[in-house]
Amino acid sequence: MNKNIGFIGCGKMAQAIIGGILKSNLVNPSQIIASARTEKTLEDVKSRWNIQTRLSNIGAAAEADILFLAIKPDVHGEVIDEIKDSIRSHAIIITIAAGISLSFLEQSFGRKIRAVRTMPNTPSLVGEGMSVLSANESVSPDDLEEVVKIFSCIGKAAVMEEKMMDAIPAISGSSPAYAYMFIEALADGGVKSGLPRDQSYQLAAQAVLGAAKMVLETGLHPAELKDEVCTPGGATIEAVAELERKGFRAAVMSAMEQCFEKTKALSGKNR
């Protein structure tokens, strides 16, 4: 890719994307420019990847063909006001923050821009992320293809209409937290049954990873895969029945509803 990629903010998600891009050889280290609030962060990423670094946000923004706003939602307005007169006219602006709408980006920059709203998740740190993208009408199909290529370096990427974006945190953005709680509960159950703690975590995590791969790679419905594990009169169906009695599915769906409502509230502030 013959583009300079800029990052304003260089936290964990930005570093995951930078690492994925370079591992995939999508661009050279010299084509990545990152700014951060502290010299220590910049020294760390410079020593790790030999990318270009800037203490000034304007410095990173002015050189980028694709610019990531890898910052918290509540500082978008302040940072955009700082850089809006310095970005290139053809630059693609990407936000990775929950609740930041495309219209908010356009209004904050005060003019038509090429804007992409995204929602990656933390498994991107190990190359198994799920990122959802939504672009405004100024973004061409070729532009969007380039952005998808970037996010494909850290896992899978899907393009959806913006009206669906508020639902994404509940199902893929925040759901790793639910999965970690499930893995922890499985491990606690293993410890209760006498297994060592470290082996319990390994067994639980690998089982969840394997189950997820079965869904993705077989194309079978999760219910069908569940039925294949449940032999008649066996132990698994007893466990499934107890999960149903305790409201397992209802609890998950209720949690997702709460997450969705919170995301909508955040989006309402940034439209």
DSSP 81: H
Alpha helix locations (H) across 153-246?
A: 168, 175-192, 197-218, 222-229, 235-245
For residue 215, the tally of other CB atoms under 10 A from its CB is: 12
**Nearest partner of 60 among 80, 87, 84, 27, judged by Cα:** 87
Alpha helix locations (H) across 131-196?
A: 141-152, 168, 175-192
* CA-based R_g, the chain, Å: 21
Binding site members for NADPH: 57
In a 3-state reduction of DSSP, which class is residue 72? coil
In a 3-state reduction of DSSP, which class is residue 34? strand
d(CA 117, CA 83) in angstroms, rounded, equals 18
Binding site members for NADP(+): 8-13, 70-73
Cβ atoms of residues 127 and 97 within 8 Å: no
The values of phi and psi at residue 241, to 5°, are -60, -40
Binding site members: 8-13, 57, 70-73
